[in-house]
Structure 1
């Protein structure tokens, strides 16, 4: 470790200084330099440096919500306590058993690939004083498995986590409050939904046994016989480009994770073209039935209009094959979770038989030939 021009200690490999947190909302919500911290009385950014609302490190309770503690282990091998839902919930159950959520494994790999050359980094830090850390945006953070993966497996990411459902948000907040301050200071949690219009209020609907299936504006089932929870909550909805301020809107955003249960087209529209073109990679989930129900069958076309190329993720890996050619334009029913022809043609899905959920990458052309691997689940 050494110093550059009297600055704080920097890692002698990454040449990145220990940056002061840009999320000053932990101390004073009015000091954030890149994010609007509140919109009137409808929502505000949580402050981590507050005590737990009640309970113990086994069960934590606050208001009508509670969560139970387990351990999250990242692909880096680092681990932290994590609060998960105490009732039957798919993601919570996997994390309690496996201590991770494998869908997040690829994110640190994508993050490192999108970082600038170390020499360029050194010059930008030393001479241009670009002290704002690079931003990872997690849209649909749920209870925070991908937030923790990025916190523990990267050293330089600042995380903007967006999660609208108050029950998911409660578990994530409790986890973040239990972390060391240096990790807390790298996360900003925004308690809203993202859409194409500002200052909306929509109800959120959730499927039983899967809090990840939380949908803005309407109830959409994972499977035909899934029950919808009776508890519903009003959610503030804003455009992403309306809550971010410079420098977040003027610099490249290396990575976005997008999982909005069919609301992806609204989220993309709310990014705006200028902000959308500053994003290098989007890892996103495609759920066919949800996209149809939310009138988002042109998702791939929208991403291509922003300059992205689409690639599938198979078994947690980017297989390196672009989906932007005519061989995928047939009417044949998709196989092996390859559904791009459905999205491109607008073909109608049969909810009983055609529900397909798979992950894709939207990448810039400079990275078309790169393939990735992750730690096996």
Structure 2
């Protein structure tokens, strides 16, 4: 008997003594080892036989050497997250395949990665430069510039950016009912403002604006006094006291409602909550960037859709007679958000820029900080977005918002000029603007963030400043951006001082200018008209 036969007979003899469970476990281990060996052999045969020229599925996506970029999307509760497979790792199959690609192909991929991940070297908006996330970076071919309507119709999103996708996030708001959180459409790629909202749940100065709005209401419309006791024939009698008259310069407005205005809406991190959660009459916003307009309008469309759902729920509860059985908080929430019509009437979003002349200017933006949209001159922004219409604020109100009457044409593309569509303004909207221009209506709060264009905006708004159409002006002073536009903080503050506005915390304008001169800083300040009897400076300073 040979040695092999002896060994096999001994193995069979021992296996007969094993339990069935041990035998099955051994067979499973042998099968698993065989599968691993076969898979490894086929895997290396693909690489060495040159099969990497075909599409090879990897996880949820695919990679192909014939395409520069490939994507895999995984849906989460927050939105759509894009994962980019570029073959830049050494431990996965893609990395091994990519090493077989020729050198020109490698260089092209490396240049593309470097272009997507570049970071602006200059200090951005007074904050420390942030390194981009090491995650995916979206790329796309720029679309041709197209003109925008003079006023958003509130029906469908306006503007565009890359793939026109939203990363939906709930942002915190320090406001009361109807609810504490609201949805905001954020950029699905790395950006300074978007990253801050993702990280903190809000944008820095937004929480002050509702408080300033309430302070303006208290200043214009003081609360009524309670009844007091008067002596009649020696006996105390309760007698009503006439209500206080409205504050000095109070507008002729019904229901004690004040409008809100924002210059430089950006992605709507302040504008959207103000339109949804405060009792403003309407919100007039100016934003010339089509990229920013897409995210702002998308957020508002979702607000309208949620309001329609609440309206149906409210009607069902009212018809069933269960409305009074709901808790007080839920009942107030339903009553405050009854339909989207009321919310739509509040929205006045104008896709135009403001300046000292009626013209059209080139809009620049900064890679990694789309909020740094600069007009006319590339101050820390070298990416050309296109031509946008620029109007004087005084003329905009005097014309009732008819931008086409002010700027007849803009350079829409290289092929020629395109007429600006006529303003889709309702008669009520036009009358509101005319009432403000004539001093019959005033804004409670004006928030402006114009990247150094503030002085030129106020040069074109001297009439509105003279009649003090804004109770509070919440603004930023960025000295380097102001100097880049050929103006200064001193000139900007003098425009406010000549119009009778006061700056919170500073008795003399020169003190503030001296504090800012020669420094690359961005500071937020508050100007107020008349007396600050409502304590607005304690909120905004």
- Normalized against structure 2, the TM-score is what? 0.49
Hey, what's the Cα distance between the residues in 2 that align with 1:369 and 1:286? 24
The corresponding residue for 1:78 is 180
1:174 aligns with 2:279: no
1:322 aligns with 2:513: no
How far the C-alpha of 1:47 sits from its partner, in A, is 1.3
User: Over residues 223-274 of structure 1, what are the superposed CA-to-partner deviations in whole Å (9 max), with x where a residue is unaligned?
Assistant: xxxxx45342211101112222321222222210011111001111111234
Change (3 A) 1:47 1:109: same
User: Over residues 8-45 of structure 1, what are the superposed CA-to-partner deviations in whole Å (9 max), with x where a residue is unaligned?
Assistant: xxxxxxxxxxxxxxxxxxxxxxxxxxxxxxxxx76421
Equivalent position to 1:291, from 447, 470, 482: 482
Hey, what's the Cα distance between the residues in 1 that align with 2:509 and 2:195? 39
Hey, what's the Cα distance between the residues in 1 that align with 2:357 and 2:155? 32
CA contact (8 A) 1:105 1:149 kept: no
- Normalized against structure 1, the TM-score is what? 0.69
SS at match of 2:205: helix
Equivalent position to 2:434, from 236, 243, 246: 246
Equivalent position to 1:367, from 532, 538, 541: 532
Change (3 A) 1:68 1:305: same
1:87 aligns with 2:277: no
SS at match of 1:150: helix
The corresponding residue for 1:267 is 457
* Structure having the higher Rg: 2
The corresponding residue for 1:340 is 513
The corresponding residue for 2:150 is 44
Hey, what's the Cα distance between the residues in 2 that align with 1:134 and 1:146? 17
SS at match of 2:446: strand
Hey, what's the Cα distance between the residues in 2 that align with 1:167 and 1:240? 23
Taking only aligned residues, the RMSD between alpha carbons, in angstroms, comes to 2.9
SS at match of 2:254: coil
Change (3 A) 1:121 1:46: farther
The corresponding residue for 2:203 is 101
User: Over residues 348-375 of structure 1, what are the superposed CA-to-partner deviations in whole Å (9 max), with x where a residue is unaligned?
Assistant: x3xxxx310110111124117934348x
The corresponding residue for 1:209 is 368
Q: Compare 143-152 and 157-166 and name the one that shifted more.
A: 143-152
Change (3 A) 1:258 1:61: closer
How far the C-alpha of 1:139 sits from its partner, in A, is 0.4
1:149 aligns with 2:273: yes
SS at match of 2:184: strand
CA contact (8 A) 1:323 1:340 kept: no
Hey, what's the Cα distance between the residues in 2 that align with 1:171 and 1:212? 12
Change (3 A) 1:140 1:129: closer
Hey, what's the Cα distance between the residues in 2 that align with 1:357 and 1:164? 22
Hey, what's the Cα distance between the residues in 2 that align with 1:156 and 1:368? 20
Structure 2 alignment gaps of length 5 or more: 1-146, 225-242, 305-339, 398-432
The corresponding residue for 1:112 is 214
Equivalent position to 1:235, from 384, 388, 394: 388
Report how many aligned residue pairs link the two structures.
Answer: 289
SS at match of 1:246: helix
- Higher fraction of helix: 2
CA contact (8 A) 1:75 1:149 kept: no
1:193 aligns with 2:353: yes
